[in-house]
Structure 1
Amino acid sequence: MASPTRRRHPARILLTLAVITVAVFGAIFAGTKLSDATWTPKLALDLEGGTQLILAPVAQDESRVTSETISQAIEVIRQRVDSSGVAEAEISSQGGSNIVVALPGRPSEETLDLVRTSAQMEFRPVLTYAAPQPTAAASASPTDGATEPSAEPTKDAPDSASDAEYYLTPAVQAQFDALDCTDPANLTGGQETADDAALVTCDPEGTLKYVLGPVEVEGSRISNASSGLQVSQSGAVTNTWAVNLEFDNAGTREFADVTGRLQGLASPQNQFAIVLDGLVISAPSLDPGVIISDGKAEITGSFTRDSATALANQLKFGALPLSFQVQSEEQISATLGSEQLEKGLIAGLIGLVLVVVYSLFQYRALGLVTVASLMIAAVLTYGVITLLSWTQGYRLSLPGVAGLIVAIGITADSFIVYFERIRDELREGRTLVAAVDRAWERARRTIIASDAVNFIAAIVLYFLAVGSVRGFAFTLGLTTLLDLLIVFTFTHPVMRLIARTRFFGSGHPLSGLDPRRLGAPESTRYVGRGRVVTGRRAEPAAPAGAEPADLDVRTSTLVATPAGAGGTIAERRAAARAAQAGTPVDADADDGPDDRPDDGSTPAARRTEGSES
């Protein structure tokens, strides 16, 4: 015989919920002291306002500015913003070409840079480099009698992208000599150069200037990017921050070809430049024999933790199909404001009050369990949203408030399913303690199935929708999970506790669990192990041989079984002997004679347990 399942005491389950609640608010309290956390969640653009940027595409070929490239750019920008932890941003197209980015609140400078920077990434070979200042050769100009430098190469065809004799034309050399990388105006990046032409540019710090060959690997070949501390060849972790890149299959082959060619050249042509938005962010050299054939590269330099993370986020989602220039940047006010938020909260409060009134009317004192459960759910939901607002950048929008209002009905529905199951069990004659356990076994499956459907709907809506609609889906999914937590760790344990009290256990008329009001059969109740307690009115007289009139008692009757079936072995043996001898049977005897009168039922089918009020 299998041992019964051991159940945890209700008080321990309630203690678990208390620990979770304290942990949530304890984390917020620590954040207010040690970080920038607040006791209120951050609000989204429609409730607080924020910063709006308008980006205009910059392209030499206007045919590249199409609805498809704009849509692709919007998706990349949205991924960058989401990766920075900013929620509820609004990104849309304006006039079919410009892109409008609205960020809630006061976004950090790093987040704004993710929007401003085009992050066009290219891998070009280094032809030559020099100090950042203009050289003496740049002092001559055509107005001084000098001839215009020739832009034509000195040979018919290049041997490779590292062929300096072909790409370093007199015009390119003159541009290189005249470039002043100490001038901040030359460090803004964003310049466009043909992929098959040489590029004259600086590094972001203005310490060097370069002449680079054509593009050999495009930034779109990057499949993943991450930041972290650099690991040395011996496996030791250093204090230098680095950005790790992984290429797709085509990029792996192209990068292996480049490193295979460059590692055999003399300096500086054994270097390849990583160009981000027109500036050289790194130009590592390759030692002889070094060929990166696995498609994994590491960018090192003067990175900090924040700058390495920002660069990895920019590169992780690929390069923008176009370069963009910030046309305007301004602060905007809330589109809905506190008035709409106030109306939304009032609507939620009205719904909550109606649920409470209905619960008290329908379930009387039992409705107080619903009220307490809703209060615990509200407190925990507020704490979790506030915690996510601090740790994950979540912002509460008006659609999010709507999701919280809908959650009131979802939570109340779980309680109704459970309470009605308890009432059904009471109608069948069970005691409240037995009814609570029996009803929970049945209601639990229904509650889980219902919340699972709601949660799946929230997930689908979250991933298919954009903008503020995702806020509704997020709060809907969050409150659905919290509903399960509250029902399992608060509502059911509380019901197990109050079922043992006299007020609820005796079926007080105000408890909401009165069997007579629920339509249960009068003076009938279930006492476990297949037995129900029934009562019969006393008969005024009885003929000889019938049951005595003083049996005005409640008798416990087992479910009827065929004669000779059921009961213990001793009872069946006693019944057999009694049938042969024609003597009464004592069903409680071990295997001996029975001196009680036989009432005609099977020995295992009925026994008298004495008077019971």
Structure 2
Amino acid sequence: MEPMALWKRVFILIVCAWGIVAALPNAFYAKVESHNDAVAAIAAAGGTATPEQEAAKAAWPAFLPSALMNLGLDLRGGAHLLAEVQVEDVYKARMDALWPEIRDALRDLRDQVGAVRRAPAPDGVLRVTLTNAEGMPAALEAVRGLSSSVVTLTGVGQSTLDVTSEGNDIVVQLSEAEKRATDERTMQQSLEIIRRRVDEAGTREPTIQRQGTDRILIQVPGIGSADELKKLIGQTAKLTFNAVVSRTADAGATAGPRNVLLPSQDENGIYYIIEESPVVSGDELVDAQPSFDQNGSPAVSFRFDTTGARKFGDYTANNIGAPFAIVLDNQVISAPVIQSHIPGGSGIITGSFTVEDSTRLAVLLRAGALPAEMTFLEERTIGPELGQDSIDAGRIAAVVGMLAVSVFMIASYGIFGVFANIALAINMALIIAVLSLIGATLTLPGIGGIVLTIGMAVDANVLVYERIREELRQAKTPGRAIELGYERALSAIVDANLTTLITATVLFFMGAGAVKGFAVTLGIGVITSVFTAIYITRLIIELWMRWTKPKTIVV
């Protein structure tokens, strides 16, 4: 039997050692997870650590790897939501924002069109009434001049606005091409903002995926309940700073043109009439952090970008003594009186907040406002007890499967079956090590993939051992029989595992969610199984042959 090259032996031993060491943290999951959380928290605090964080950090040696497999929703427990994005809200907002532009564009044509007013119309449609219909052609041309080209490959050459006339009215709405482009942008923006909000909250490995044309699937392991997740992502968090016209207790008060009537969040029965156009909006925020006001009550401090800071500073300088409404999602959360010029673009939002409220509001403001409201069609909370039951069941399945395979191999191939079992154990360590290295999320289907790999892992050994038996029947020496067994079984091993790897690849790219988890573990298991069967068992057999120097072998 020709000995394996020295560099191959060294490489195999290094890979085996790495696999065992890298998989080790998963055997102490809770301790290592606390260690990792403490390290992250200390780094975020600039190196400052509490005694509890120092204890958690010291609980796991720094010289050992600390990468863990992330546990999926079905193993850790958490919240599951299926949300529908109300994309039509964006159409309405676009029309509301377009009205001042149309009014200004028609102002220069007043001699031809007469007076201009906005008429009632369904959401997403802007209807403008002219008192002089003779100026309609000029008015249509002016309004169409506000349109632009649709910014998509499929909408090239098409206008963003559909402008028509009905009697004395100009009817404006988004074109079909622009609606499709707007829907796509709205969904992409919603996905990104949800992802940022969930990441800001410090959750692990969330699943945030688009489903169909207007739905989003959100699965967040480790969060307490679906209600908690809804509070985090369900609020649009549209923040504006508006000039206050008046304060009233009449819920039916007339706001007047270009004004809106909004309720106060903290003052029951009190309403504010504010100007519809904001002085500054939350889009110009660059930072928001939970803090405390001068009375020690929870609040949110904020900071604008350069443009927002200039607008905020100019307004406060010119309106000292006037109230200034801070509006969040169509509620006035506070309306402080401007005491002095506020330069620098920073300030503080006060209200009847708890610490949790101020923290959540800061997260929402940092992540940005959702472009449209969401309706939750499905919600589930998976408790950690159920997740632990799944982990225990998966662990039992893996252990039972491994024991059954080990007994079969020893009964069928004796000492060579023991060698295959050693390689199988190393194979399991390598799978866990690779999953930890790439930060993969382990789910119940993923455990199924690992259990399946246990059964498949010894297939290559069976092929090799049966081939060795055939060579021994032809009176080959033990060393030569082993060498030929590995050489002649190699093509069958590669063929069988290559087809499985192709299947796993197709499942990964065509599947979603749990199917991807199964595909990842199956694909990694195929690669590590081939490596352990061809190289590790051969190295073990070679070392055994050199040590025992048997005249005959029984396989």
**TM value normalised by structure 2:** 0.49
Q: Which has the higher helix share?
A: 2
**TM value normalised by structure 1:** 0.45
- CA radius of gyration, larger in: 1
